Structure 1
């Protein structure tokens, strides 16, 4: 032997099982770092790719640049690639001479917002989802959004003629009257210049909307760009860092600034959605949050893994205390002893790091690959990459973990005196004597339990770390399983409470012909056409139920003095108009009164009065918000604007001011309550702390005007019917700028997504649990090694082998019991906290998941018992005489 360091290699070979167990612990930690790291970076890249598809494949946009500036920017060294567009060219479609068989809606003026794109914009910068035809290749060719096909009545290959409109004049006109497109005076805005374009295709717009403004894309020939026209320049930058600063610098070379504006838009606009994901955006909040999550997960893995490796090296040191003593006695310095231990650690690290990195990558890659065939794959389109950053992170974190783990045992080994080391008594001398009675444990498990409890608490740090790693597993299992179960329960209750199986919601009105067409279909049981709007109501203060507000620990609405009376305003009140089928369905929810069609048509109304709300301090309250009874009168003031606008983009109406003025004038619509309902089954999103009013179609039209049918609920005879008609209804809904939702299909999709997320979460739990299990094996093993003389003494004074075995098994069991107690308490607190947070949007009774808690507790106890059985083999090999001598 030429050097002390040669002992390290021999020891590792001699103790293969111990070496393999330690390496497995390190591999588990590295595989977690690698798997989570590769998933994190792959998801980031996937999100960046999706954002580039949705928002545009660019990082910075230079707005309002002329031809000269476009040329300068395109030749800038910092620009990687670019695209040029000429945006916001408005045209009014020339009158169609063939107006026969067209509805009033089809004959409304139609405005085209035409953006001209160069080749790069059409094929690289902007993602255009072509549904029919091809992209434009000439200046007189355009593509239109898909809904324009039915509205314009034009096919691919047809031509359209349109008059140019000054965009500034149009914007000003729209600010004055948002409905100007429905009026004939829009014709005054157009110029005499007529443009003729050939339609070469139709594309799917990313966000559908209902308006008389239709989007189109044309071809921009850069060679024919006009000198004085303004263009938009979309660019990606070469540099990977400091993109915002470089983008501003590039803009400044052509006189552009982020602080200067053209028509309300800055001259330099960054694609924040993309840059934020790349950690390059102006807003670093997301970056900090993401980093915090990553640091938390990394810290959690390090803490759990440090315990495994720390215990493993403690065992290694304890087993070789006498060897270290011999080395010290023949001249080895404490520094050389420390080097031996560190060398041992780094040899195992060199073996474990590549295996762990590859294992983590293959694990996450295989998982994603296997799950990609699932319905509604939550990571659809995700490609798992192998990142050099992850390799570097794994190496750094592993070295930190190894150093933290080995530092203690290395120092301990170097401080051992030769005499104590040879006698193997140094470890025992280090432990402080603590009086731990453990009376309850002794009462339950006997003397073996009392001794086992004192043993596991001898090294309190080791005990805490081991229990902590198992607690993490237990808490994660209980919380994830409980919340998954709660979501399933809520989804099932939601579906079962809804009287329909599917719903079509549109932004355009559905006519009676379409409704009749739906009703005529086979396998359709019932069709409902409830019409719902939101407004508010002024009620006299005395009519409110004070006990309701006391129960929910909430202040009553502030009252206002109007004409000598105290009034309160309730906002977000639903005003619903039901058809005959809808009234038949709500009969089951009638708490008082009756559904009398004649009375309802004669200013009768059904009141939705019962509310289910969550208290601030937890729990649910089911109570009536008002004291109204059947036969009472409700007075609604007559106002110009009756409801909140359903259209996006319209300014919010000051209904409160209008309703208050109506009350002051004393001009009311007087309604008689003919029945009281428990809940509004057709309006899942109804406010849980307000009332609802249900009218007949006739009564609603008489008092408030006719409402368009924008929602149809369908009840199928069986689930197969839903599958049969889903394609048909989806297509129809798309034509009407709406959506089709099948509740059963939605439930299946949510279930599939939950299962996919559970695979990742339970996989993480499994690895942390294995780490905890290895911790227990190592903890009990180190205890056996350090207490050989104690076991020998106990055996010598009469303790049987079975009692010794029981004592060792109880050490493992007590780890499980303490983990179960503390883990269950923390899980219960977290579960209740999450449940209270969910009360804001969950309106169903949730059963406490006692079965999940029991399963988790029994699982932990079983795992700890199993972990304690493995080290029992060492007891069989112990010699009473030799172990007692070690103490002498």
Structure 2
């Protein structure tokens, strides 16, 4: 070890407090990176295990493969295991009392399928021969139906066709009905006799609303004929992004026509074939890592910059005895190496321990909230540790390199005379006369101090700016990811089941709403009208779509009118800040207009949020009933838009380009429904239930044919769970970033104030009173806060826009500034800076003037 490095180590030992602050800053930074990486791998692991537990371990499915193609799949070096399956077919279930599920559905698996798929046996065993089956538990729950182990079932198994001969119908499609009656028949039937050997839980890997109760048969590979085809679900050895290209190429080489991917499971490995989603994830990952590095650099860089300030005379003395620029630069880099070797292992340990404690303490809550059986385990992978080490090394190098370059340029004379930090000229410290006039001499002195100590002032401003940027970008990222998930899942409406019928049957919906498990409900009556809208009220992107345009240049809009009962309407009106009293006068019809909609662009593979009409309160629209066969128009009524809203949480606000939704109280319906229009008015019940599956069965048992039932339970719960997961992860990250930012601000300001003891002592020696000193400090705080906000807010807005553009590769919606967060940041910056300045200056006040004037460090 050379003499310069030995002196560096000695300097670190002599300045224990500063060295400890630097090490602590790096530990926090490394712990944060490690925590984020470990948390991500832990969540990915539990998501993978849960997906496998519910839907089985397979990654790609080759459909309709023959014996030759199957052999090629098995011999492929990437194949880990193969699940063979065969859709034997549907058979009539005469005893079924469920009009929507009149069939048995028989599906066969090989031994590997029984191992890899989550088939939970309740009673008995799994089939071992082709004449044995297990039945779904739901079959024996039907009144009057009991199949015991050992019983034989004889059935005619075939394919579903419609009465007009079209088919076969896809197994996953629900029963096709017209006017409340099934229009399906079974064709190509074969008689099968099976022995029941067990009963299983209804499998999650099969849609619970397919029209057949699950019956699982054994598939014997040895009995497969040459011309017989099967589905082969393959688990591969290595899951990576190349799986899509590789399997597509493999299918083409072996002339396999259809390939299906387990996209949900692959997504939890970070693998996707959606280019927009991949681009989004890459950009967001880069932004997150960039935010972490920026925050860490801000914290660590300040420590090294302050170190250079304290070591200025020391480095100057080294220069005077012949130390080269390279040696001085390497001295600072060596300091970074030493503190890094100490800090990185400790930071990794603390990061892993911290996340481990967090996961352990929240595991029970996690299992309950997400309703899964797989525990959230702490997963520490070599890759996550390498990522943490790599980011930390890069962070330390960047933080140390810039001060190292500056250190190498310090001349011996400047360092010994301590002139490198303070280079005065009248122009540089000149302040506006307005400052003294408005705030007094103390504010002017404070501002001159900042200009005189420009480097330290810039370091502090940099620290504050980074803190602002970190908080705003992370909170913006959190809010937008939650919104994007909600849009992508398309479950903004908070209900479990939708029951639809014509308005004459609305009494049935009232009966359904009284079922035991129904916890909340809304009945919405809806019908369609039209209106002509002025050209200037049509959004630019809507003008590119097809419209009927009349002689006055107006465009024809479709209007979806939805009527709520009085209580529900008042609650909704209050939720969107509409004046409820405005709707009380029936002689002046008024409505709430929904101007926002979202849809999936299948070509661009994006969820797009758009505006249907440029409406505003007070706007009047003339509702008409247009007969598109005769082109005859009948005026219905004029209605005023009392309020414009972006969301509708009660029912389905179906709109799009050239259409919008208006919400009215039920009392207004008589004025809006045209004569002889009753069959065109529909009623929908949107209900929440404590047991949605049971409630659906009870609705079906009403025996009504002219209704539709749509159970949204699974989709809505999945959305809520994903959003909650994002909240836990993102807000935890936000809190951590905020804590680091606050620590950074306090550290920077307190150290900066500590290095100005001599300066403050000089001001006190010429007569500055404690009150005047406090005023000077207060004004400096204000200058710091204002300057940091002037830089921090525009930079934050720019980064937020880039985040919005990154998400726009998958989901498109309006870019809006988070004004609440911005106001919080403005208030918080003033509070934190003021608190840090007061805390630091309170310590300086206790210093003896004579002792402080003798200090050599500025």
Aligned 1:800-839 pairs, distance under 5 A: 803=772, 807-808=776-777, 810-820=779-789
Q: CA deviation at 1:211?
A: 5.9
Q: Secondary structure at the match of 1:434?
A: coil
Aligned partner of residue 203 in structure 1, secondary structure:
coil
For the pair 1:402 / 2:370, whether they are aligned, the reply is no
Deviation at 1:420, TM superposition (A): 3.5
The structure that has the greater radius of gyration is 1
CA contact (8 A) 2:90 2:106 kept: yes
1:469 matched to 2:466? The reply is yes
Give the equivalent residue in structure 2 for 1:165: 158
| CA drift at 1:834 | 12
1:283–1:220 Cα change, 3 Å: same
Find the counterpart in structure 2 of residue 603 from structure 1: none
Q: Relative to structure 1, is the Cα distance of residues 589 and 173 closer, same or farther in structure 2, using a 3 angstrom cutoff?
A: farther
The reply on whether 1:689 has 2:660 as its aligned counterpart is: yes
Contact 1:145 1:205 in 2 (8 A): no
**Range that drifts further, 431-440 or 306-315:** 431-440
CA distance in structure 1 between the partners assigned to 2:785 and 2:14 by the alignment? 32
Q: Using structure 2 for the length normalisation, give the TM-score.
A: 0.73
Taking the aligned partners of 1:165 and 1:484, their CA distance within structure 2 comes to 46
Task: Report the CA distance shift for 1:572/1:520 in structure 2 as closer, same or farther (over 3 A).
Answer: closer
1:307-346 matches, cutoff 5 A? 307-346=298-337
Query: Take 1:745 and 1:232, find their aligned partners in 2: how far apart are those partners?
Result: 31
2:191 aligns with one of 190, 193, 196 = 193
Shift of 1:353: 0.5
Per-residue displacement from partner, 1:13-49 (whole Å, max 9, x unpaired)? 2211111111111112112211112222333334444
Query: How do residues 698-847 of structure 1 correspond to structure 2 at under 5 angstroms?
Result: 705=679, 711=685, 729=695, 732=698, 738-739=710-711, 756=728, 758-782=731-755, 784=756, 788=758, 794-795=763-764, 797-799=766-768, 803=772, 807-808=776-777, 810-820=779-789
**In 2, distance between residues paired with 1:610 and 1:164?**
53
**Structure 1 contact 144–215 (Cα < 8 Å) conserved:** yes
| Alignment partners' CA distance in 1, 2:845 and 2:112 | 75
Pair 618,767 (structure 1): closer, same or farther in 2 beyond 3 Å: farther
Q: Which residue does the alignment assign to 2:837?
A: 868
Moved more, 149-158 or 62-71: 149-158
- In the TM superposition, what is the alpha-carbon distance from 1:79 to its structure 2 partner? 2.1
Distance 1:878 1:503, change over 3 A: same
Report whether the alignment pairs 1:14 with 2:11. no
How far apart are 1:864 and its partner, in Å? 1.7
CA distance in 2: counterparts of 1:520 and 1:686, whole angstroms: 27
1:370 pairs, out of 345, 361, 370, with 361
- Aligned length in residues: 790
Aligned residues of 1:473 and 1:769 also touching (Cα < 8 A): no
Aligned to 1:66: 66
Cα shift at 1:352:
0.9
Q: Distance in 1 between matches of 2:845 and 2:700?
A: 74
Equivalent residue number for residue 256 of structure 1: 254
C-alpha change, 1:779 and 1:170, in structure 2 (3 Å) is farther
Residues 549 and 556 in structure 2, CA contact (< 8 A), matched pair in contact too = no
CA deviation digits over 1:579-615, x for unaligned, max 9?
9999999999965548xxxxxxxxxxx9885525479
Query: Does residue 1:123 correspond to 2:96, yes or no?
Result: no
* Structure 1 residues 259-658: aligned runs within 5 Å: 261=257, 266=258, 268-374=259-365, 377=369, 382-429=376-423, 434-457=428-451, 458-459=454-455, 461-473=458-470, 475=472, 504-506=497-499, 530=524, 532=526, 536-537=528-529, 544=532, 546=534, 549=537, 560=548, 569-571=556-558, 573-574=560-561, 593=586, 610-611=592-593, 613=595, 621-623=616-618, 625-627=620-622, 635=625, 637=627
Are the aligned partners of 1:611 and 1:623 in contact in 2 as well (CA < 8 Å)?
no
Q: 2: CA distance between counterparts of 1:400 and 1:847? A: 32
Deviation at 1:470, TM superposition (A): 2.8
Deviation of 1:474 (Å): 5.3
Partner Cα distance (1:618, 1:173) in 2: 41
Deviation per CA, 1:301-332: give whole Å up to 9, x if none: 32333233333223223323333333333343
Gaps of at least 5 residues in structure 1 are: 488-493, 595-605, 629-633, 638-659, 715-721
Distance 1:439 1:208, change over 3 A: farther
C-alpha change, 1:527 and 1:248, in structure 2 (3 Å) is: closer
Mark the CA change 1:184 to 1:299 in structure 2 (over 3 Å): closer, same or farther: closer
Residues in 2 aligned to 1:416 and 1:751: alpha-carbon distance in whole angstroms: 53
1:127, CA displacement in angstroms?
Answer: 3.5
C-alpha spacing 1:467/1:223, structure 2 compared with 1 (3 Å): same
- CA RMSD in angstroms, aligned pairs only: 5.8
2:54–2:205: 8 Å Cα contact kept in structure 1?
Answer: yes
Write the deviation string for residues 314-363 of structure 1: whole angstroms up to 9, x where unpaired. Answer: 32233233333333333433333333322222111111111211222233
Deviations along 1:269-318, one digit per CA (max 9) or x if unpaired, are 44444445535544444333223222222222323332333332232233
Pairwise mapping of residues 8-87 of structure 1 onto structure 2 (< 5 A)?
A: 8-52=8-52, 56-86=56-86
- 1:821 Cα offset (Å): 5.7
- Cα distance, 1:858–1:29 mapped onto 2, change above 3 Å: same
Match of 1:652 in 2: none
Task: Provide the secondary structure at the position in 2 that maps to 1:315.
Answer: helix
Supply the distance in 2 between the matched residues of 1:777 and 1:36 (Cα, whole angstroms): 29
Query: 1:651-694 deviations in whole A, cap 9, x for unaligned?
Result: xxxxxxxxx2x225x6x9x8977999979996462548345797
Question: Deviation digits for residues 399-420 of structure 1, max 9, x if unmatched?
Answer: 2222222223323333333343
